[in-house]
């Protein structure tokens, strides 16, 4: 009877991490087998209940005395039933452990990266309250406020907010960077603009940035209000 009580205590444990459920059921099976083989009782798992809301696995056990003439067949029946019950619970526990330890991609933690394609842009002189940031202002350059419209290379997996825009932007003719935070094209890690929000239904996005170009360039001579620009590795990145 003491061993039967121990079996109940093991089976009724709650609030364990998912990977411990299988360990619990293995212990239950081994302990039940020991009871059957070393005592006058045969312990048969009659019903196993798995509760996802309580994160618990409970097995109801029935102990019956066995006679010498029926002990062999009864124990064979017990072993078949016990292994079947343990396998069912192990399957449920494995499923729970898998979904808990390895969540679906939509719930995964990490940055979301989406390429921007087919950028279309236009520019106008920046107002005085929006100067060129950084050292470019000291090199005889002027700031042009560029508005870019681009298509998302793929659908956003979820709603995103405050999404950074990254990449290289250069003068198409001279191949020099027009970004104040990346004047020598040494890295594209610097964020040069931001998009307020992107949703799974978004197909296009729009953003602005300040381009630094030589002051002597007559921007009125260009259809877009600025010399031709080249966008490379253009993408948005949202960090959790």
Per-residue pLDDT of the chain (240 residues; tens, 9 = 90+): 444 444 444 444 444 444 454 566 656 556 555 555 555 555 555 555 544 444 444 555 555 555 554 555 555 554 455 555 555 544 544 544 444 444 444 445 689 999 999 999 999 999 888 877 665 555 788 899 999 999 999 999 999 999 999 999 999 999 999 998 777 777 656 789 999 999 999 999 999 999 999 999 999 999 999 999 999 999 999 997
Beta strands in 101-228 (DSSP E): 112-125, 141-152, 160-171, 193-198, 204-214
Q: pTM (2 decimals)?
A: 0.54
Cα 94–100–103 angle (5° rounding)? 115
Going by C-beta distance under 8 Å and a sequence separation of 6 or more, which residues neighbour residue 193?
A: 148, 164, 165, 207, 208, 209
Locate 121 and state its tokens: 């842009």
What is the spatial distance between Cα 24 and Cα 63, in angstroms, rounded to a whole number? 20
């Amino acid at each position: 009877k003491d061993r039967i009580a121990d079996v109940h205590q093991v089976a009724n444990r709650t609030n364990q991490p998912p990977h411990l459920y299988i360990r619990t059921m293995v212990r239950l099976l081994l302990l039940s087998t020991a009871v059957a083989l070393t005592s006058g009782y045969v312990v048969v798992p009659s019903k196993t209940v798995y509760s996802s809301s309580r994160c618990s696995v409970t097995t109801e056990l029935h102990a019956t005395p066995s006679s010498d003439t029926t002990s062999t067949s009864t124990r064979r029946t017990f072993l078949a039933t016990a292994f079947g019950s343990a396998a069912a619970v192990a399957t449920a526990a494995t499923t729970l452990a898998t979904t808990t330890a390895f969540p679906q991609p939509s719930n995964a933690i990490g940055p979301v990266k989406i390429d921007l394609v087919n950028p279309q842009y236009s520019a106008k002189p920046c107002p005085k309250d929006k100067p060129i940031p950084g050292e470019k202002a000291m090199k005889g350059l002027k700031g042009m406020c560029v508005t870019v419209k681009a298509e998302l290379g793929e659908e956003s997996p979820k709603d995103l907010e405050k999404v950074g825009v990254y990449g290289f932007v250069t003068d198409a003719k001279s191949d020099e960077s027009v970004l104040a935070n990346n004047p020598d094209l040494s890295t594209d890690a610097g964020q040069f603009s931001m998009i307020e929000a992107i949703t799974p239904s978004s197909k296009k996005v729009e953003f602005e940035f300040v381009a630094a170009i030589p002051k002597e360039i007559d921007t009125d001579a260009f259809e877009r209000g600025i010399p031709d620009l080249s966008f490379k590795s253009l993408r948005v990145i949202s960090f959790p």
